[in-house]
Structures are given as structure tokens and as C-alpha cells.
Structure 1
Amino acid sequence: MPYFESPVDGTRLHYVDHGPATGPVAVFVASAYVGHEMWEYQMLPLAEAGHRCVALDRRGHGRSDDAWSGYDLDTLADDLNALLDHLDLREVTLIGHSVGTGEVVRCVTRHGLARVARLALVAGVSPGVVRSPGTPDGVDPEAVRADDEVFRRDRAAYFSALADDFFAAHLPGNQMSPAYVRYLVDRCLSATPRAANGVRAVVAALDLTEELPAVDLPVLVVHGTHDTSAPLALTGERVARLVPDGILKVYENGGHGLFATHAARLTADLREFLDAGAARAADTVGAAAAGR
């Protein structure tokens, strides 16, 4: 299996690399608690269509090694950037879901744009969902602390109880099979307790309001109208306004788990975004060659 070591502390991190080596590159960063498996409905068809699809298992998640430290946004962004360096990837589209959107944004604001050409932020918690100077309308921190206590007491019950809201399963077309819901809950439980709580702390402290205006590259923002984990007005709509070159696509009836409930639409939108980036890169190379 493909692994590399984090330059921060040597933690062994797992990744997958699918599709042709010469295709346009998409690098996927998953939600909290889960690994690369959450992207199966996007990675497989995109790789089959000729895109190179790479996905990282965050430390303490999926098949990556557990670690006691490193559950802060800078370290997680450093791990992601190290993957780009390890594979020497160029003209990358970084695609993040939920807290993964924070990691991809911090990756470019911390490490620059030498390897990254565009971002796709799917059901993101960026710029932040908890009340802070940059998100004054966010959730009360006391409510977050109370929720953390419930989470620590029984993670299995916590994930199971929130599954319907996660998928907005009460809305037409959003019903997922009980088998898939059970599978995803099991994947969430595969994250170590330390990693799970560490990433929750990242979400609680997240405030990217001042960073997003510096993300000077095309950004696709995909968000659902019924995302209870990251309400549209607080997250997706704000991100699209804050970045210089943002495109907002709103999915009617979409919840936080739209990567599954709206899988075909999301895959099509990502493919269009990736292909547009590849065409732009080819035009740039052609113009440069013509000017020699």
C-alpha cells in the first residue's frame, strides 16, 4: 500500500492514487472521521474518465497511523502539502469536504500556489461554524462543548443518531440504504478517539475569514440547502463571497452527505471543473510556446 511519512513528526500516512498518471490531477481530502473511502462515488468514475485521483487518509483516520499530536490545522495542511511533494504533483485541484475544506484552504495560504491550480469546497465548514470574531453568527461555543460531551460518552450512538440529518434523509431522493448508513458509521468509528476529538477541536476553532480573500485561484463551492452540519448561509455562501474567483453551486435538498445522495451531480460538476482547469492549463502552455 502507498505510504509516506509526515515531515512534521514522521507519522506514516496512507494515500490512494487511481487513474492514469498523465491525467488532470484531483486530490481529495475527506470529512472528519472517515478516510478516502467516502469519495468512492467521485474517484472511481473520474479515474475511469481519465483523471488522476489521489486521496489522503488524514492522520488517525483510515489506514494512516494514529498519532497523539498533530491535530491542528497547520499540521494537517502540512501533511497534505507533503503528499503533493511526495508525488511531485502539479496543476492540482484540491477537493475537500467539511473540515477537509479548511485543510485545503490552509494548504494554499500556508504553502502557496506552486502545485495547486484550483480548489473545490464541498459541504464545507469553512470559513467557520462556531462563534468567533470572523463568524459572529456561528454556533454558541457552550453548545459545542455540550455536544462534545455527548460525543465522548458514546461515539457509536452519536453517529447513528445523526445519520438521517447528515443525509437530509427526510427529503425526496435522499434516502440511503440502511446498509450504506451502517457502513459509513463503521468508517467513522475507524478513526481513533484521539483523532476524532482532535479534528472536532479543529472545527470548533476554525475561522478562515481573513485567509479566504488571499485564495487567488478558481474556487468551486458546492453546498446543499439543507446542510444542518454547515448551514449554507454561514458557510458556502460566505466562502463564495470572500474568495476572489468563486463559483457557488447550490444543491436543492442537499444535506452534508451530498457526496452520496447527490453523487452523480457532484461527480459531473467536479469533472466539468477539472476539465475547465485542464483546458486553461493547455491554453497557457500553448500560448507560451507560441510566444517563444
Structure 2
Amino acid sequence: MPYYESPVDGTRLHYVDHGPARGAVAVFVAGAYLGHEMWEHQMLPLAEAGYRCVGLDRRGHGRSDDVWSGYDLDTLADDLQGLLDHLDLREVTLIAHSVGTAEVVRCLTRHGSSRVVRAALVCGVSPGIIRSERLPDGVDPALARADEEFFRRDRPAWFTRFADAFFAVTSAGNEVSDAYVRYLVDRCLVATPRAATGVRSVVTGLDLTAELSAVDVPVLVVHGTHDTSAPLARTGERLARLLPDAVLKVYENGGHGLFFTHAERLTTDLRAYLGGPGATTATTGICRMLAAAGIGG
């Protein structure tokens, strides 16, 4: 299995590398608790279409090493940059979900964009969801603490209880099999208790409003109307406004788990955004204009 060592502390981190070695490169960063497997409905068809798709398991997740430390945003961003450096990837499109969007933003503001040409932020919790001075409409910290107590007491029950809202099943009528819910809960439970609580701490302390203006690559922001984990007005819409060069695509009836419920549309939009394998910058620009016009999904 492919591994590399974190440039911060030598933690052994797992990744997958699918598709042709010379295809246009997309690097996928998963949401909290999940490894690269959450992206199967995007990575597999894109790799089959000729793109090089690299997926990272963050520390304590998937097949990466179980370690005690490093669950802060700077270290997680350094781990991501370490993967780009390890594989010597260039002209990369970074694609992230949920808390992974914060890792991508911090990676770009901390390390620059010499290896990155664009990013796609899907259902992001960025710029932040907990109430603070710069996020006055965020979630009450007391509610977040109560949720944390439930999570620590019974993680399997927590994941199971929130599956309906995660996929917007009742609220939007999305169809998800019981078998897939069980599968995804099982994958979430692979994340160690330390890693899971550490990543939750990143979310509860997150406020990226001051650094978003430093992101110097085009960004596609994808968000669902029924995302209760990261409500559209507080996250996706705000994120698109604060980024210097962003296009927002809103998925009607999409929840936080739209990577599954809206998988075909998301894959189509990502493919249009990436352009053809080995696409030129000009081609990419055309794709961005089409996305802004609402064409291509």
C-alpha cells in the first residue's frame, strides 16, 4: 500500500493513486471521520475517464497511523502539502468535503499555490459554523458542547442518529439504502476516538474569515440547500463571497452527504471543472465560465 511520512512528525499516512500517471491530477480530501473511500463515486469514474485521482487518509483515519497528536489545522494542512511534495504533483486540483475544505484553505494560505491550479470545496464547514465575534450567526457553543458529550458517550449511536439529516432523507426525499448507511457508519468508526474528537475540535474552533482573501486560485464551491451540518447561508454562500475568485453551485435538495445522493451530478460538475485530462489553462477557464453560467450540471 502507498504510504508517505508526515513532514511534521513522521506519522505514516496512507493514500491511493488511481488513473493514468500523466492525467490531469485531482487530490481528494475527505470529510471528518472518513477516509478516501467516501469519494468512490467521484474518484472511480474520473480515474476511468483518464484523470489521475489521489486520495488521502488523514492521520487517525482510514489506513493512516493512529497517533495522539497533530489534530490541529496547521498540521493537517502540512500533511496535505507533504503528499503533494512526496508525489511531486503539479497543476493539482484540490477537492475537499466538509472539514477537509478547511485543510485545503489552510494548505493554500500556509504553503502557497505553486503546485495547485484550482480547488473545489464541497459542503464545507468553512469559514466556520460555531458562533464567534466574526461569525455572530453561528451555532450556540453550548449546543456544540452538548453534542460533543453525546458523541463521546456513544459514537455509533451519534452517527446512526444523524444519518437521516446527513443525507437529507426525510427533509428532501433523497434515497439512501440502509446498507449504505451501515457501511458509511462503519467507515466513520474506523477513525480512532482520538482522531475523531481532534477533528471535531478543529471544527468547533474554526474561523477562516481573515485568511480567505489570501487564496489565489479559482475555487468551485458546491453546497446543498438542505445541508444541516453546514447550513448554506452560513458556509457555502459566505465562503463564495469571501474568496477572491469563486463560483458557487447550489444543489437543490442536497444534504451534507450529497457526494452520494447527488453523486452523478457532482462527478459531472467536477469533470467539467477539471477540463479534459491534461487540459490547458485556457480550457479550464472556459469550463469555469460555463460553470458560472450554470451549464454542465
Q: TM-score, normalised by structure 2?
A: 0.93
The residue aligned with 2:229 is: 229
SS in structure 2 at match of 1:31: coil
* Conserved 8 A contact 2:172-2:226: no
Give the match for residue 141 of structure 1: 141
Match of 1:62 in 2: 62
Specify the alignment match of 2:104 in structure 1: 104
CA contact (8 A) 2:209 2:242 kept: yes
1:214-247 deviation digits (Å, cap 9, x = unpaired): 1121100000000000000000000111111100
**Secondary structure of residue in 1 paired with 2:169:** coil
Letter in 1 for 2:102: G
| Conservation of the 8 A alpha-carbon contact between 2:275 and 2:283 | no
**1:157-172 superposed matches below 5 A:** 157-171=157-171
Equivalent residue letter for 1:275? G
Q: Write the distance in 2 (CA, Å) between the matches of 1:138 and 1:282.
A: 39
TM-superposed CA distance for 1:172, in Å, is: 5.3
State the secondary structure of the residue aligned to 1:110: helix
1:173/1:261 contact within 8 Å kept: no
- How far did residue 280 of structure 1 move? 3.8
Counterpart code for 2:38: M
Letter in 2 for 1:49: A
Partner of 1:73: 73
Q: How does 1:87-126 map to 2 (within 5 A)?
A: 87-126=87-126
Give the Å deviation of 1:281: 2.8
Q: Residues 30 and 38 of structure 2 are in contact (CA less than 8 Å); yes or no, is this contact kept in structure 1?
A: yes
Q: Any stretches of 5+ residues in structure 1 without a counterpart? A: 285-292
Question: Could you tell me which residue of structure 2 aligns to residue 289 of structure 1?
Answer: none
Separation in 1 of the partners of 2:216 and 2:276?
17
Which amino acid is 1:153 matched to?
R
CA apart distance, 1:136: 1.3
**Contact kept in structure 1, 2:23 and 2:277, CA below 8 Å:** no
Question: How many residues are paired up?
Answer: 284
| Deviation, structure 1 residue 276 | 7.2
Deviation of residue 213 (structure 1)?
1.1
CA-to-partner distance for each residue in 1:78-115, whole Å, 9 max, x for gaps? 00000000000000000110000000000000000100
Letter of the 1:15 partner, please give it.
Y
Residue identity over aligned pairs, in percent, reads 76
Aligned to 2:244: 244
- Which AA in structure 2 matches 1:111? H
SS in 2 for 1:220: strand
Residue 23 of structure 1: aligned partner: 23
2:293 corresponds to which residue? none
Aligned to 1:176: 176
| Structure 2 runs not aligned, ≥5 long | 285-297
Tell me the amino acid that sits aligned with residue 127 of structure 2. P
Q: Is the 8 A contact 1:167 1:174 kept in 2?
A: yes
* CA RMSD of superposed structures (Å): 1.4
- TM-score under structure 1 normalisation? 0.95
- CA–CA distance in structure 1, aligned partners of residues 268 and 283 of structure 2: 22
Contact kept, 8 Å, 2:165 with 2:171, in 1: the verdict is: no
Q: What's the CA shift for 1:171?
A: 4.7
Equivalence for 1:156: 156
Amino acid at match of 1:107: C
Q: How many angstroms apart in 1 are the aligned matches of 2:177 and 2:283?
A: 44
Amino acid corresponding to residue 264 of structure 1 in structure 2: E
